[in-house]
Chains A and B, each alone.
Chain A
């Protein structure tokens, strides 16, 4: 019960996380099922970093009460999907990339495609090194996007 109350308090102190340090997902190593585990994992449904349901958990800096905070949604999404995103940026299309496009205000399919080509063209600037962090990725992406007038018009509210 105390936990619930604490969590409710957390809800109101959501602003405490409002710095730009990312969501700290990187510290959560995602465990792979080893071969031996696969052999036995008949229902394979164990995750190591299980976040206990609901409002008690604000595990990473981007969630409060188990829900990703509005202003952290892009950051959180990029941290979780960084590998996929960088692969899709290189090829200029993909589901995760187009989801990110929509999060950045590109609602139409045509504008998502334009976002895809933009990300591909700016690849080396959005991801200047192999070790670019998710926080840097988002920062670089925003900087690159602000210089793109046409894309800005296509993607409102970005």
Chain B
């Protein structure tokens, strides 16, 4: 009885003791922090997203209400001291202090010897976190859009898993995404603003099924899922830190301060000593961040979620000749009374309807056309046929982890018009038509920033042969249903610093010769020596790329160009063969130019690694 009474008295009085911070203790905490040099610990630096400049000074890209000290973004120590003041001060509203900076607080609890009465509860935040119930984090890599070379860049975000969501309920987990908030801008302005950091980047959270819809349906991209090696405490710490970032943003740069850079920094908050971000110096390519995490043993298991586009391709490939005819009728004429469809068996009809429905869904997303009525009548018809089909097994594409390293060296020897040369080339990214295309968009090229130097023994000097700023070739195959445009663009300097601009638009078809091949025809323009007199060439190009086996590829290219100002024509033929094994590629390229009755030839043998 007496004990109970005493207990009640203590309980009753406890809050009055604990909700007064003492200035002396707060000063002592600051002293302790200074003595143990906490401001320079990797954990504090990662919590502030600090990066070190060349001469040792720090800066953080985070803007908004994140930093407490006015110098916080540049001075980790000032921010740490301001934090201690803020967390343990009576002047601060209690929700604004320790509950505002959960991760900072939970770290300081470990680093400082805090008096128990200085630690406040945050019931609202605890309830919120309990509702989310997160114990695991997954890294999600959105692979490139099959039909867009530019998206070779990829995208990464995190998925927070609640163990309550077993089985199929995992779709109810939450995805945390870092993205530029762009508004409704489109096209070139979007690109330019994105490159120069005019958009704010911020985190957002949505149910994973919503992210799936966005990526696999709207953007036609496969999603690759990897479980991250983080224990529940580390995951909780990341979540605490995300809550701290509420209301903050960082300028979003497409190239370096992008989604993947921020996601890496987020993982680094839980694993500050892994040195993840230290691996990146200029451009942060999402797939490279996945590979770095894999190299550091941070990833476990791999699962792919195929895009709607892949589903449609698989469904169509499985149809027989009659069914394909029926699908064509259904889609073009929106009719189920045509002879081709009516002649099918019930199962064949069901499969044709399912294929048509996935095609309509795809075009609905892509072209933003309302196909509700068509889809509805097909769905009714399909439902009537009953349970007679099996789920389609979409063949798993090659893991993005097997893809080539983005940057590479090319060492080569060759001859140009009987003059020997050695060549040294470096590319920042990404791949060209002859590269191994595992895990990337097939039959495409995305080359940015490459430098090609040549040494000619006869002249005994190194010379700049070519700089490529950007060289993209995007080819889309024509099918019975779609007639998309293929295009190419190439900007750089050659020879030396003489600027050139080449481009083309055209069309292509896939031929199964012998395994996979794509043939394209382009209308092209080539313009070199742009700094001198402009002398545009117009012409046509035929480009055939074959994949003979998993390791062997070839390229056959023929161009005919005509200059109206000079009134002369020229032809150019290129042949390339490439063999790759264990991420090393051997390549032989030959070129023949017919320049007004004089044939010039060159060849080059290179090793790429």
Contacts and interface: CB of A to CB of B under 8 A. Distances in A.
B219 A33 contact: yes
Given A11-B128, A50-B202, A51-B205, A91 B389 contact: yes
Contacts of A146: none
Q: Main SS of the interface on chain B?
A: helix
Contacts, number: 220
Interface in B334-370: 350, 353-354, 357-358, 361, 364-366, 368
Interface string B224-236: 0000000000000
A43 B387 contact: no
B412 interface: no
Given A102-B167, A131-B372, A47 B177 contact: yes
B361 A87 contact: yes
Given A83-B364, A84-B217, A86-B379, A42 B259 contact: no
A118 B219 CA distance: 31
Contacts of A42: 150-151, 153, 191, 194, 254-255
B372 A130 contact: yes
A46 interface: yes
Contacts of B258: 43, 45
A54 B259 contact: no
B213 interface: yes
A66 to B, nearest CB: 5
B379 A38 contact: no
B391 A93 contact: yes
A2 to B, nearest CB: 10
A90 B372 contact: no
B184 A48 contact: yes
Contacts of A83: 361, 364, 375
A112 to B, nearest CB: 8
Given A4-B247, A77-B209, A120 B168 contact: no
A144 B172 CA distance: 24
A81 B168 contact: no
Interface residues of A, number: 69
A142 to B, nearest CB: 19
Contacts of A103: 169, 172
A63 to B, nearest CB: 9
B105 interface: no
A32 interface: yes
Contacts of A116: 387
Contact of A30 (B100, B174, B218): B218
B376 A129 contact: yes
Interface string A117-148: 10011011001011100000000000000000
A92 B259 CA distance: 38
Contacts of A56: 246-247
A80 B124 contact: no
B83 to A, nearest CB: 15
B155 to A, nearest CB: 5
A143 to B, nearest CB: 17
Interface in A4-30: 4-5, 8, 11, 30
B355 to A, nearest CB: 11
A111 to B, nearest CB: 12
B9 interface: no
A55 interface: yes
B204 A51 contact: yes
A77 B173 CA distance: 12
Interface string A65-100: 111100001001100110110110111111110110
A94 B377 CA distance: 19
Contact of B382 (A46, A90, A101, A117): A90
B463 to A, nearest CB: 31
Interface of B: 65, 95-96, 100, 124, 127-128, 131-132, 142, 145, 148, 150-151, 153-155, 167-169, 171-172, 174, 176-184, 186-188, 190-191, 194, 199, 202-207, 209-210, 213-214, 217-219, 242-243, 245-247, 254-255, 258-259, 286, 350, 353-354, 357-358, 361, 364-366, 368, 372-373, 375-380, 382-383, 386-387, 389-391
Given A51-B206, A91-B389, 19 more contacts: A3-B246, A39-B187, A41-B190, A43-B254, A46-B179, A48-B182, A50-B181, A52-B246, A53-B245, A68-B172, A76-B207, A77-B207, A84-B217, A89-B383, A90-B379, A92-B389, A96-B171, A130-B372, A130-B377
15 contacts: A8-B95, A11-B127, A30-B218, A38-B151, A45-B180, A50-B202, A50-B204, A52-B202, A55-B243, A65-B128, A67-B131, A84-B361, A112-B168, A120-B387, A130-B376
